[in-house]
Structure 1
Amino acid sequence: MASFDALPGAVRDGDLITHFGNPMTEQRALAAGSAIVPLSDRTLIEVAGEDRLSWLDSITSQSLGRLRAGESTELLVLDPQGRVEHAAGVLDDGAAAWLIADAGDAEALAAWLKRMVFRSRVVVTVRTDAALAGFFAGGEAEGRIAASAPNGVPLVWRDPWQRVQPGGHQYAQVDDHPGAGFAWSVAVIDDPATLAGPFAGALAAEALRVAAWRPRWATEVDERTIPHEPDWIRSAVHLDKGCYRGQETVAKVHNLGHPPRRLAALLLDGSDVVLPAHGDPVLAGDVEVGRITSSAIHYEDGPIALAILSRRAPVGELIVRSQDVEIAAAQQVIVPADAGATADVPRLTRLSRRPLGEDPRGAR
Structure 2
Amino acid sequence: MASWTFAVDRDDLSRTTVVDGPEVEAGEGAAVLRVDRVGVTANNVTYAVLGESFRYWRFFPPEGRGLESGWGLVPLWGFADVVSSTVAGVEPGQRVYGYLPPAGQLVVRPERVDATGFRDGSPHRADLPSPYNAYRLTTGDPAYRADEEDLLVLFRPLFFTSFMLADYLADNGFFGATTLVLSSASSKTAYATAFELRGQGPRLVGLTSPGNQRFTESLGCYDDVLTYAQVETLTPVPTAYLDLAGAPSTRHALREHLGDHLVRDVAVGLTYQVPNSEAAGEFFFAPVQMRKRGADWGRDELDRRFGAAWRRFADALGGRVDIRVGHGPEALRTAWLAAVAGRVPAQVGQVIAL
TM-score where L is the length of structure 2: 0.25
Q: Scaled by the length of structure 1, what TM-score is found?
A: 0.24
**Higher relative contact order, structure no. (Cα contacts within 8 Å, ≥ 6 residues apart):** 1
Structure with greater proportional helix content: 2
